[in-house]
Amino acid sequence: MKIKVWCQKCVLLLVSTRTMVQARNKGEPGNSDQQKHTSTETRTIQERIVNVKMELWSRGAYSFHDENVIEEQDESYLSNLETQLQMAPLQLGPIRQARRDVWRKQHQQSSSSNWWNQFRGGGDHVYDEKARLDTLKSVFGPEFTAALEQNQREHAIDCQLSCESFYCATPDTPLKPLNELLSNNETIVQSYSFGPVPPEGFGETFGFPLDLIKVTRGKSLFSAEEAAQVIAMAEAEGVEKNEYKSGKYRLGGDWLDNLPSTRKWFNEKLESTFFPLLAHLFPEIISSPAALRAHSVSLLKYNASHPRTDVHIDNGILALTVAMSPQDQYEGGGTFFEHMGQDDVVEMDVGFATLRPGSVRHGGHPVTNGHRYILGGFLLLEDRVEHVRRLKNRGTELRHANDLVKAAQHFEWALAINPKCTTCLKDWAEILYSQKQLAAAEEKIRAALDLLENMDSDALFTLGLILSEQGRDEESIAAYQQSIKLNSDDAELCYNLGIKLGAKGKTNEEMDMYARAVKVDPSLGGAWLNWGTALAEQGELDDAEPNFLKAIECGDEVAPKGMINLGLLYHAKSKTLAQGKDAILDA
Amino acid sequence: MPRFRIISEVQRLTFFLPSFLSLHQVNNDLKGAHEYAVKASELVDAATPFLQEIVDRGDGDGDTRRYLEQIAPLRLRCHRMVGQLLAALGDLPGCEAEFRLATEKFPTDPGAWQMLARILEVQGKTDETRQIKEKLQAIIAAAAASVIQ
């Protein structure tokens, strides 16, 4: 099998070399010639591969692209990884430093044959879920125990419902060999880093390092002709009649529950391809294909009016995305993972798939022309109840119901099971913020950002809000600006940053932000209103007028404000036109 | 499940005041000025019930209340502008009607009565002018008394 490894950060070679030299002088682990020599002599290739991967991970080299993860992890593969390691920039933030400290400690005590297992899932410790839950039951009492039991019941129902709609393998179903699934290795699987935080469910169980985003490459899993037939079938079933909402975006498409013929095809693919492939790719978490359950499966249609999904995480321990349209039928599109940067788009042509844990933050790059169909589904594991996700979801529901105390309790429980549940920290911070407990809110959101190494635009947005509320304007602006670097398509963020910049007298930058905000979301009336106001304050009445008219079109609370400001503008115009006439009544 | 995102607690919609206008500009387009003044009046009248409704149902933020507080002085300025322009265009009865409307809407505002007194005086309606001026004095005295209390 051909191995292809490349590094997007090669341009940083000189810089990283210098940094590495400095690190060596400080005695940083993993850079000692003696240590490397020892490793080479005493460890197997497999061990050395894990070692190098972990070193890459600890350096924040998340964009490394690792093909051929399943088989043939040989000398050549190791050599490529080591080359990549030399090129990787040495970026040590506080969390990475903590990881490295753990790594160093363990590295020095490497007598254990499987020492690297100590770091699986983020470097904490080997995890015994049952023991932890039993301990927590005694800590939190019967309410917590009841919540776990509710999780189990809901999980069982979801799994049962899944089998009513989607293919479920029986326990005696044999696992198809990987060679067969990958067309004798004509199909390869490329891995991308999952980012700094392990999956929210069973994080400690997933393999280390977290190269958990798997994308098929090479030969497609099914042909373009087959995909075209499926799309024609779905269109005949009325897939285009439905519309979803993803954050601020509208999406075309429909649930497969409403598209029976398309679902039949998908079920065949689950059986023949996706379930066995998943079982091979994630053996640490999937006990057998018979444990897999599909739910919330939909066929989405992207086009210029329905361009993308917002940045989000998926509601399942695993998720599956399948490209159903040839790349020559659309422009733009593709998925980006926030920790990799919004411009680092993972592209997939028709017949290719991405398989990964659900809890990584990702979004769609906008489709600007043509149309693109994507089949997406969330997956459960029948033998693993996702307590963290279910507690967190229930907490969110309680927030919607304005029961903030219970909501916070659920986030606390979820965090007790998984202290790295960053969405739990974020949601809890927002509750504290709404309760004006700003110091506590800041502590929670900063904890999430520390874990995520600041690579979360939503968390930075919330931090900006919290700091703003405390009157720490400069810090607030800095947080918003960090956020916008990660997700420049966030209209509310642009709007808030515009307000802060305007308050600092930076009117041109303020107006730029409003312009960006309404480009993303033309219905954001506040941005039209403030943009018009900024123009009017500069005397640009003619330019301000259409903005106020747009604000009025947006309706809701902003419309009457737009009317008032437009009234002021017309009053001002009236005064201007009347200038020079000696009014007979100067009342 | 979508996140329940707090959008913002820092929305501040500026209520701009057009103090930027050049006082030296000479246009003399009274008809155009009148049209704009009427449009401004209509917009303020249209916005008022919406803003009031938002505040009444408790949904309004601080800005909404601030906007609502600005309605009265703005509407009074619109009355003054429309009336002045009608007078300048030679429509004195129209001006009087506009200022009477202002006193009906803002019966405790001395400015509204002052405008009405002025147009009545210009038209030679001396008796009514005297009555209005007496009323104006009473309103001013009442306002002063309330301030002292």
Per CATH, domain A386-470 is 1.25.40.10: yes
What are the DSSP calls for A334-395, one per residue?
Answer: -EEEGGG-TT-EE---TT-EEEEETTS-EEEPPEEEE-EEEEEEEEEETTB--HHHHHHHHH
Which of A568, A569, A582, A586 is the best residue to mutate to test the B interface, defined by the most B CB atoms within 10 Å of its own CB?
A568
Predicted pLDDT at A247 = 64
Of A355, A168, A358, nearest to A278 by C-alpha is A355
Q: In chain A, whose CA is at the least distance from the CA of B72?
A: A564
ipTM for this prediction: 0.85
Q: What amino acid is encoded at A270 in this protein?
A: L
Could you tell me if residue B102 is inside a domain? yes
Taking CB atoms and an 8 Å limit, are A561 and B47 in contact across chains? yes
* CB distance A42 to A115 below 8 Å: no
Cα–chain center distance at A139: 32
pLDDT digits (tens, 9 = 90+) for A474-504: 999 999 999 999 888 888 899 999 999 988 8
Could you tell me if residue B60 is inside a domain? yes
The minimal CB distance from A581 to the residues B6, B61, B88 is found for: B88
Token pair of A233 as six digits: 């079938």
For residue A277, give Cα distances in angstroms to A299, A355, A360.
Answer: 21, 9, 20
Could you tell me if residue B48 is inside a domain? yes
Predicted pLDDT at A344 = 84
Q: What amino acid is encoded at A227 in this protein?
A: A
What are the DSSP calls for B69-105, one per residue?
Answer: HHHHHHHHHHHHHHHHHHHHTT-HHHHHHHHHHHHHH
Residues 382-411 of chain A with CB under 8 A from chain B are 393, 396, 399-400
Chain B residue numbers with beta carbons less than 8 Å from the beta carbon of A315 are 1
- For residue A335, the cross-strand partners are A346, A364
* CB distance A187 to A216 below 8 Å: yes
Could you tell me if residue B88 is inside a domain? yes
A576 inside 8 A of chain B by CB: yes
Of A170, A163, A513, nearest to A521 by C-alpha is A513
The minimal CB distance from A560 to the residues B24, B47, B119 is found for: B47
Taking CB atoms and an 8 Å limit, are B70 and A564 in contact across chains? yes
- The nearest CA of chain A is from the CA of B83 a distance in Å of 9
Chain B residue numbers with beta carbons less than 8 Å from the beta carbon of A579 are 21-28
> CATH number of A154-381: 3.40.1190.20, 2.60.120.620, 1.10.357.10, 3.40.50.300?
2.60.120.620
Taking CB atoms and an 8 Å limit, are A568 and B74 in contact across chains? yes
Taking CB atoms and an 8 Å limit, are A536 and B18 in contact across chains? yes
Count of the separate structural domains present in chain B: 1
Q: Please, where in chain A does CATH 1.25.40.10 lie?
A: 386-470, 490-579
Residues 493-522 of chain A with CB under 8 A from chain B are 495-496, 499-500, 502-503
The minimal CB distance from A563 to the residues B43, B64, B88 is found for: B43
Predicted pLDDT at A19 = 22
Predicted pLDDT at B70 = 84
Architecture in CATH of A490-579: Alpha Horseshoe (1.25)
Predicted pLDDT at A580 = 57
Could you tell me if residue B41 is inside a domain? yes
Q: Please, where in chain A does CATH 2.60.120.620 lie?
A: 154-381
- The nearest CA of chain A is from the CA of B74 a distance in Å of 8
The minimal CB distance from B20 to the residues A499, A537, A583 is found for: A537
Q: pLDDT tens digits for chain A (587 residues)? A: 322 222 222 222 222 222 222 222 222 333 333 333 334 444 677 777 777 776 666 555 544 445 545 445 678 778 877 777 666 544 433 333 333 444 444 444 444 433 333 333 344 444 578 888 999 999 999 999 999 999 999 999 999 999 999 999 999 999 999 888 988 888 988 888 888 888 998 887 876 667 889 999 999 999 999 999 999 999 999 888 777 776 666 778 889 999 999 999 999 999 999 999 999 999 889 999 999 999 889 999 988 877 878 888 899 999 999 999 999 999 988 898 988 888 888 889 999 999 999 999 898 888 889 999 999 999 999 999 999 999 999 999 999 899 999 999 999 999 999 998 999 999 999 999 999 999 999 999 999 999 888 989 999 999 999 999 999 999 999 999 999 998 888 888 999 999 999 888 899 999 999 999 999 889 889 899 999 999 988 888 999 999 999 999 997 788 999 999 999 999 989 988 887 554 434 43
Taking CB atoms and an 8 Å limit, are A465 and B8 in contact across chains? yes
Ranges of residues in chain B with a pLDDT under 50 are 1-25
- The nearest CA of chain B is from the CA of A44 a distance in Å of 44
Could you tell me if residue B2 is inside a domain? no
End-to-end CA distance of chain A: 91
Could you tell me if residue B3 is inside a domain? no
**Backbone phi, psi, residue A568, to 5°:** -60, -40
- Tell me the residue range of the domain where B84 lies: 31-148
Token pair of B72 as six digits: 């009265």
Taking CB atoms and an 8 Å limit, are B27 and A579 in contact across chains? yes
Chain A residue numbers with beta carbons less than 8 Å from the beta carbon of B9 are 433, 465, 468-469
- Look at strands A243-246 and A187-192 and give their pairing: unpaired
Could you tell me if residue B119 is inside a domain? yes
Taking CB atoms and an 8 Å limit, are A558 and B13 in contact across chains? yes
pLDDT digits (tens, 9 = 90+) for A289-334: 999 999 889 999 988 877 878 888 899 999 999 999 999 999 988 8
- Look at strands A345-346 and A187-192 and give their pairing: unpaired
CA–CA gap between residue A163 and residue A158 (Å, rounded) = 9
What are the DSSP calls for A290-315, one per residue?
Answer: GGEEEEEEEEEEE-SSS--PPSB--S
Predicted pLDDT at A304 = 80
Give the CATH number of the domain where residue B143 resides.
1.25.40.10
